[in-house]
Amino acid sequence: MGAEPTSLEEHKGATKAMFDTDSAGLVLGIVGLVTTLLLGIVAYRIAVKTKREQWQIAEASGAFRKANLGLSIFGRLLGEGYPDNEWWCFIHPGESDEIAVFPIRFYIFNAGDAKSDIVDVVIRVPEACFPESAAKYVDFSILPSLLQDSIDWSVDTVDHFTQLSFTMPPMEPKSVRELEIPFGLRPSVQGFEVGVPHTTSSSITVSGMLVAAYVFTVRLRSRDSEPLDFSFKVVTIPARNMRIGIYKYVELCKRDKTLQSEYSAFRRLRDMLTTVAEPRVANFLAFKTDDEETTEFGKIYTMKLPKTLRQRVYYVGTLDTFENPAPGTVISLFDFQSVPRSSRRFRKEEGNVVRIVG
């Protein structure tokens, strides 16, 4: 143990020596901390640069590219938001027991940036629309036409439904294929009259309108993407032309008390506080009667569409200016329905995709 300082000068010298030693240690500590921090920053920048380069290499090699299949009907996308294109109305030229053969045009597309695997398209319809026994008499068409001989297809009946299955070659990115299939449909909107006993000696006749729809489901499936199920409905309205058919539709909607456009000003104000207005759209398609034949099954009409379709949009309140369109015109008719806030449908992204099958 060293000797204690005996004078003031010695005490000051010892104190200065201790202070110099502590200062040097502090400086060395700060230098070490700064050095460690700089080395950490350099290592982080190197790691980020390496990660970015790896990402760029993977992106350039196509590791992140994938196929993205989709479906549209007559050029209207399915599953692309709300309001969707779920409801379709065809004008039927015949009577309640007569069949009209409508060509329904499906567009299968690959919106992704990679080539897909083999594509399976499965269409499920009521058996009456496409009986399995009629398959050998029915032709489908596809574009590009060079794929006509490279597509395998089959028809099966399952629980009163007909299932049409198509297997297509892989699809290139940003490509589309058109598949047109004829379906035989009877009018799904029909009037009826029923006699109801009123007294023991008399009765009254009650008339009404029966409205039904043909439900179509479509599944797209490929090994490199998630299978998708779509759904849409077809209503066939008997009428001489499109104008009469659309007015029939509007009259049917007027019987629906939720039709927003039929509300009084007071009711609209009340519903602003308790409900929300949701848009709904019905698509009408103008066909041309190409042929008419009387068979053992009754009269059958063959409907036809031009290759190029035109698009027009109307609001239900502006039909005063509506004129009969040329064949091949898709008419989108908008109106609004009042929906309670508790049951509002948030479908901005879902559209009418029924579900994604895992």
Three-class secondary structure assignment of the chain? CCCCCCCHHHHHHHHHHHHHHHHHHHHHHHHHHHHHHHHHHHHHHHHHHHHHHHHHHHHHCCCCCCCCEEEEECCEECCCCCCCCCEEEEEECCCCCCEEEEEEEEEEEECCCCCCCCEEEEEEEEHHHCCHHHHHHCCCEEECHHHHHHCEEEEEEECCEEEEEEEECCCCCCEEEEEEEEEEECCCEEEEEEEEECCCCCEEEEEEEEECCEEEEEEEEECCEEEEEEEEEEEEEECCCHHHHHHHHHHHHHCCCCEHHHCCHHHHHHHHHHEEEEEEEEEEECCEEEEEEEECCEEEEEEECCCCCEEEEEEHHHHHHCCCCCCCEEEEEEEEEEEEHHHCCCCCCCCCEEEECC
Q: What is the pLDDT of residue 93?
A: 92
Which range marks the domain in which residue 39 is found? 17-64
Q: What is the CATH number of the domain that holds 121?
A: 2.60.40.10
CA distance 164 to 217: 11
Domain-terminating residue out of 8, 29, 64: 64
Q: What is the pLDDT of residue 200?
A: 59
Q: What is the pLDDT of residue 142?
A: 78
Weakly modelled stretches of the chain, pLDDT under 50: 1, 19, 257-263, 346-358
Q: What is the pLDDT of residue 9?
A: 59
Does residue 272 sit within a domain? yes
Query: Do 223 and 97 share a structural domain?
Result: yes
Domain-terminating residue out of 29, 64, 99: 64
Does residue 342 sit within a domain? yes
Does residue 2 sit within a domain? no
Query: Do 323 and 252 share a structural domain?
Result: yes
Query: Do 177 and 47 share a structural domain?
Result: no
Residue pair 175/112 in contact (Cβ under 8 Å)? The answer is no
Please tell me the pTM assigned to this model. 0.69
CA distance 253 to 28: 85
Query: Do 178 and 310 share a structural domain?
Result: yes
Does residue 119 sit within a domain? yes
Does residue 1 sit within a domain? no
Does residue 37 sit within a domain? yes
Query: Do 157 and 41 share a structural domain?
Result: no
Count: domains in the chain = 2
Does residue 335 sit within a domain? yes
Query: Do 230 and 114 share a structural domain?
Result: yes
Q: What is the pLDDT of residue 353?
A: 40
Query: Do 100 and 60 share a structural domain?
Result: no
Domain-terminating residue out of 26, 45, 64: 64
